[in-house]
């Protein structure tokens, strides 16, 4: 893999707080010429900060490191679904999944007590 300015990359550590690193510049005068902006999954006091890399994505020359860039980053896919909600004594608390609010409304039974919009995100696993 060769880094390119303007692209986003994943770091080696899967449990990292880093969402991705965007390569924002290249300066041949530096030992590690690729300058990357670290973007974190959650807001923190760290904010985003800059680090440097070799063309191969390595952050250290002598050994593999958790912060090495290993592959290009792509935004996870998201999808919205709609659920009609019924009381527990109804046959199904959630009857079916719908693509739009209008579709959920059109198939709602008279016993419906609510409607929920859920945004599903690729790779998200709720506890």
Give me the residue spans of the domains in the chain.
8-72, 78-121
Q: What's the CA gap between 23 and 104, in Å, rounded? A: 43
For residue range 51-107, list pLDDT tens digits in order. 899 999 998 777 788 888 999 998 888 999 999 888 887 666 666 889 999 999 999
Residues contacting 122, CB < 8 A, separation 6+? 76, 77, 78
Residue 92: what pLDDT? 65
Residues contacting 62, CB < 8 A, separation 6+? none
List, as one string, the DSSP characters of 66-109. Answer: TT-EEEE--PPPEEEEEEEEE-TTSS-SEEEEESSHHHHHHT--
For residue range 11-60, list pLDDT tens digits in order. 988 778 888 999 999 999 999 999 999 888 776 665 668 889 999 999 87
């Amino acid at each position: 893999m060769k880094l390119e300015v303007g692209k986003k990359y994943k770091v080696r550590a899967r449990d990292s707080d880093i969402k991705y690193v965007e390569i924002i510049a290249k300066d041949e005068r530096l030992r590690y010429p690729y300058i990357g902006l670290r973007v974190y999954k959650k807001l923190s006091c760290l904010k985003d900060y800059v680090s440097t890399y070799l063309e191969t994505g390595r952050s250290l020359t002598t050994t593999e490191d958790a912060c090495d860039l290993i592959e290009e980053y792509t935004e996870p896919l998201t999808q919205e679904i709609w659920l009609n909600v019924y009381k527990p004594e109804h046959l199904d608390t959630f009857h079916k999944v719908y693509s739009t609010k209008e579709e959920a409304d059109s198939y709602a039974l008279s016993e419906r007590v609510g409607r929920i919009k859920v945004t599903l995100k690729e790779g998200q696993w709720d506890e």
